Amino acid sequence: MEDHEGGDGVQEEQAMLWSIQEAFERQTLQIGASACGATAVLDVLKALGVDVTPEEADRCVQTRLRRNESPLPDYLLSRSEAGATHAQLIRGAEEASKGKVMGRFFHLHPRRLVGLFPWLARWIRKGAVPIATMNMQRAVPEGEEVPDAWHHQLIFGATPNAVFMTNPFD
């Protein structure tokens, strides 16, 4: 984790778990269908020095899959349940780490008056390893298909004007 002072002596609100190069090298690529949550948990554990296999992380998170071959009503139900909730991610990280890691969920709806970048940086400097849970149906670029899912990504850093994430590296 880094904490830098700007040229004017004012401390910047910045924190990085990994450098950009380290994140590019250490990130876990999506481990399976609908498994962005388990992938994010795997990277959290990696950042905290807890060694877990992708299979163990996915088992502990209990990722739910779409039932592509089932009748239409069941298929639609499975689409609404696919992936993992924040509660599953927290429980999965705790179980996979054998209790060494604990989690907490911070909802940002309804809207809160918080400076997201410095808030994230402060949590990272305190030892937190954040996961963003994002509704991908918001802010879809014009002409692109509306996604049907939420997405979970590890946040490996925050600066005064940027948040850095993995899966995908962003």
- CATH code assigned at 90: 3.90.70
Predicted local confidence at residue 170, as pLDDT: 66
Instruction: Find all residues with CB under 8 Å of 79, minimum gap 6, and list them.
Output: 66, 148
The band of 6, judged by pLDDT with boundaries at 50, 70 and 90, is very low
Q: Which helix (H) or strand (E) holds 16?
A: strand 15-16
Is the residue at 7 inside a domain?
no
pLDDT at position 52 over 80: yes
Is the residue at 9 inside a domain?
no
Number of domains making up the chain: 1
**Total residue length of the chain:** 170
Is the residue at 1 inside a domain?
no
pLDDT at position 164 over 90: yes
Is the residue at 5 inside a domain?
no
Predicted local confidence at residue 7, as pLDDT: 44
Domain residue limits at 109: 15-165
DSSP β-ladder status, 15-16 and 150-159: antiparallel
- Three-state secondary-structure class, residue 83: strand
Is the residue at 124 inside a domain?
yes
CA–CA separation, 28 and 169 (whole Å): 9
The band of 121, judged by pLDDT with boundaries at 50, 70 and 90, is very high
CA–CA separation, 29 and 48 (whole Å): 18
Mean pLDDT, rounded, for 79-83: 87
Is the residue at 2 inside a domain?
no
From the CA atom positions of the chain, what is the Rg in Å?
17
- Three-state secondary-structure class, residue 81: helix
CA–CA separation, 32 and 99 (whole Å): 25
For the record, the structure tokens of 90 come out as 């927290």
> Largest Cα–Cα distance of the chain, in whole Å?
64
- The beta strands (E) that lie in 37-165 are given as 131-135, 150-159, 162-165
With pLDDT > 90 as the criterion, what percentage of the chain qualifies?
Answer: 70
CB 134 within 8 A of CB 150: yes
Is the residue at 26 inside a domain?
yes
Please give the mean pLDDT across all residues of the chain: 89
Is the residue at 41 inside a domain?
yes
